[in-house]
Amino acid sequence: MTEENFENRERVETVRLTHQTGSNVEGDIYEAVGGKTFFVNLCAKFYEGVSEDPLLRPMYPEEDLGPAAERLQLFLEQYWGGPTTYQELRGHPRLRMRHMDFKINPAARKAWLTHMEAALVAQALPPLYHAQMWAYLDRAATAMLNTMED
pLDDT digit of tens for each residue in the chain (150 aa)? Answer: 445 555 555 554 444 545 556 655 445 799 999 999 999 999 999 999 999 999 999 999 888 899 999 999 999 999 999 999 999 999 887 887 788 888 999 999 999 999 999 999 999 999 999 999 999 999 999 999 999 998
pTM: 0.82
**Which CATH entry fits the domain spanning 30-143: 3.40.50.880, 2.60.40.10, 1.25.40.10, 1.10.490.10?**
1.10.490.10
Domain boundaries, the chain: 30-143
End-to-end C-alpha distance for the chain, whole angstroms: 23
